[in-house]
Amino acid sequence: MPRSSAVRFSHFLPSLLLLLAGLAAAYVKDLNVFFTSLFNVLPTLVLLLGGSYCAVYCRQRELFLMVTVYIAYFLLDTQTDYYRDNGRVREDAAVVFHLVCLLLPLLFGLFAAWQERTHLFQDMVARFAVLLAFGSVALGLEQSYPQALLMWLSEIRWPALHGAWMSLIQLSYPVFLSAFLLLAWQYWRNPRPLHAAQLVGLLGVFWMLPKTFILPFTLNIMCSQVMLMIAAAVAHEAYQMAFRDELTGLPGRRALNERMQRLGRNYVLAMTDVDHFKKFNDTHGHDVGDQVLRLVASKLSKVTGGGRAYRYGGEEFAVVFAGKTLEECLPHLELIREAIASYNIQLRNQENRPQDDHQGRQRRGGSGASSVSVTISIGAAERLEQRTPEEVLKSADQALYSAKGAGRNCVMAFGQTRRGAVRTENAAG
């Protein structure tokens, strides 16, 4: 997946917005009857809708995350309801609250990092068994040895690390920290909207617990928001699978088709193709071929002039310029062609890929590594009177074939002759 800052920010944005909305709602005073009633049923409603959505798409990890948050909500909501109705807490309030503060981050981190790698039914049984085991042990201890359990949970084991600001039991802080580090490492290894939502959701839970008996409806609001983050992340990833190409990170064919329906009156479409890609693939292997496609996609994604690149299929890409004329777009396409033609690709083992751009530049600057270069051909067409986007795209494809016939490694507009092609002197075959 692409690892640019913009992509990473897009992973976190929906969850951060939900977290901020939850924080703002929790501090609102004097709620009217409508919002009071809404917050009372919101967690259950979110679980039913979001859980059903996850179940339909067999997203068991996300489903158990939501169930874990909801169980914590149910246990604490029983205590807060009693507190609001009677003005005092129940006798078991302390031990239940401390158990939730310890087990919620533990189970949240466990289920968040537990990926589905086995048969769906086996995976579901295993997750349910873990949840049942933790719940049964906690319930048994709470019912049989409440005072001994309370003393064990609330004991300050590390006085030097205990601060006056700590409003949770001391044991919960290392558990929260461990879960956060685990989920941060998971996101670093595999940046996904779901992994970002897990991180932000854990922060929301950490903020919520100390405010459970202080701010009205904090529990209802934040538990609902955390479950919404998970459901929204599932929807975000479903969108990416449908509209974004996994290999290159560019928007895919379906995204291009939708964009073409909203182009307006003036636009330019360009089709690009990697020259002799099949021969290159057969010579250097599919791994290097994928590397070439990622390179071309990376360069095309930086096209200037207001263009937007899409993965059309195979080694073909499309570039859309909305509100532009052909004369305005050709120089920008030529810049992209030159950037790709002048770039030397260092052939390396996929297991030895650099972790960042700086390390990659250092390796490319070294000596002794074999390198190859590729070129692309580009055909462009402009919308004329009474032409549909599909017809313009077909004209761009015809211009691409003309560029291939003109010697490749050139940019040609629809209707140009070979002499009119924009190309370099050493246009390669």
The catalytic residue positions are 315
C-alpha distances (whole Å) from 148 to each of 139, 145, 295 are 14, 5, 62
406 vs 400: CA distance, rounded Å: 10
Q: Which residues pair with 121 in a beta bridge?
A: none
Going by C-alpha positions, the residue among 238, 197, 214 that lies closest to residue 69 is: 197
303 vs 250: CA distance, rounded Å: 13
Name the pairing type of β-strands 316-322 and 410-413. unpaired
The torsion of the CA quartet 400, 339, 266, 392, rounded to 10 degrees, works out to: 10
315 vs 308: CA distance, rounded Å: 17
DSSP H/E element including 319: strand 316-322
426 vs 341: CA distance, rounded Å: 10
Please, what is the Cα angle at 78 between 209 and 95, to 5 degrees? 60
260 vs 389: CA distance, rounded Å: 6
Q: Do residues 317 and 296 lie in contact, with contact meaning Cβ atoms separated by under 8 Å?
A: yes
SS3 label, residue 415: coil
360 vs 354: CA distance, rounded Å: 5
